[in-house]
Structure 1
């Protein structure tokens, strides 16, 4: 009789398993659309039983809402971390926009489904999507207020909504224009934001000499 001990497979932790399920579910929803996908199909793609999916998420609605909620948190983390490393206000705008569009590249089909099929996905999805916008508003509005301190709060709020809407539309437009990269989109939005505030900013924040990768005033990236 051999004294060898059978090798045991390390069980995946609940958190790791949930992360794996959300990764695959997000991909399946993006590929096929929320309505067309069944829990059976997702379970098969995940390599787990359907009861396990229900144990983690309760329903298909719960699964898609969990996937969207996770993306919301990751988007906020990516954009806020990028802006925190900025050297000046224009660099902050540039870094935030670049992080946003790079993140959208990684989740483009998921966001397209949310923005283009609002009547198909679960009702709570619209609330999570709006929470995502409010998170981005919480990053953008204080920056605009600092750039243009004489602008009334209601105008700052309005400009913030304009920028958020423009970012979403540009992200969707890029789906049919793959030649427009994330850096291109970030440059367009940085120019749009900065030029739109030019009359309010005045001499308080003259366009600085850009750092590495930040567009110059003529639109060309700095090397």
Structure 2
């Protein structure tokens, strides 16, 4: 866009667009330099903005990490929902899709989820957010698995808590190179199937 004197003007980002840009930059920093390098000052520099703008959006490094954690999780949850809401499946196929999509979400983040989680380790805020996200996955797993289970809903939800714990452990092992994505998904699918019998 050109002004009257011929100078080029750039469109100012809305608050939501700026926040999205900052979270994208933050994930790039974590991916390239590690979570320890992610500070509000470094984020501002990499995003090409002033420090006060970064502070206005997040306030503290802890808040930035939590928002990044939520953002990564939202992408994973959306991918999982999308995979699970297409077509009708039998129980074995449902377990396979649920397991492979869940594990792939972790593989797709290249370890950022675990790195950000580790940077937040021990914080009360992280525990509250983690519990909120876990509850969301329990609801999703229970809704997807209920048509294939005769268990009462509360029992099914308790089993889903255990299954998600197993999925987390397998994902973590995969990120650390202890097993392949295919091995983790296959093991998780077997646990889902045996966990509902």
1:3-82 to 2 correspondences below 5 Å: 5-29=6-30, 31-34=33-36, 37-82=38-83
1:168-183 to 2 correspondences below 5 Å: 168-177=168-177, 180-181=180-181, 183=182
The unaligned stretches of length 5 or more in structure 1 are 201-223
The unaligned stretches of length 5 or more in structure 2 are none
TM-score (norm 1): 0.73
**Following TM superposition, by how much is the alpha carbon of 1:180 offset from its aligned partner in structure 2, in angstroms?**
0.7
> Paired residue for 2:121, among 119, 122, 127?
119
Inter-partner Cα distance in structure 2 for 1:65 and 1:46 = 19
**Following TM superposition, by how much is the alpha carbon of 1:32 offset from its aligned partner in structure 2, in angstroms?**
3.1
User: CA 1:78/1:145 → structure 2, altered by over 3 Å: closer, same or farther?
Assistant: same
**Which residue of the partner structure matches residue 211 of structure 1?**
none
User: CA 1:56/1:117 → structure 2, altered by over 3 Å: closer, same or farther?
Assistant: closer
**Following TM superposition, by how much is the alpha carbon of 1:196 offset from its aligned partner in structure 2, in angstroms?**
3.6
Which has the larger helix fraction? 2
Cα deviation, 1:130-168, whole Å, max 9, x if unaligned, reads: 11111111111233332121x244432332111100000
Q: Which moved more, 1:93-102 or 1:156-165?
A: 93-102
The number of aligned residues is 192
In terms of Rg, which structure is larger? Answer: 1
1:110-149 to 2 correspondences below 5 Å: 110-116=112-118, 119-120=121-122, 122-149=123-150
Inter-partner Cα distance in structure 2 for 1:109 and 1:69 = 15
Q: Which moved more, 1:132-141 or 1:70-79?
A: 70-79
**Following TM superposition, by how much is the alpha carbon of 1:48 offset from its aligned partner in structure 2, in angstroms?**
1.6
Q: Any conservation in 2 of the 1:84–1:92 contact (CA below 8 Å)?
A: no
Q: Any conservation in 2 of the 1:86–1:92 contact (CA below 8 Å)?
A: no
TM-score (norm 2): 0.82
Inter-partner Cα distance in structure 2 for 1:21 and 1:118 = 18
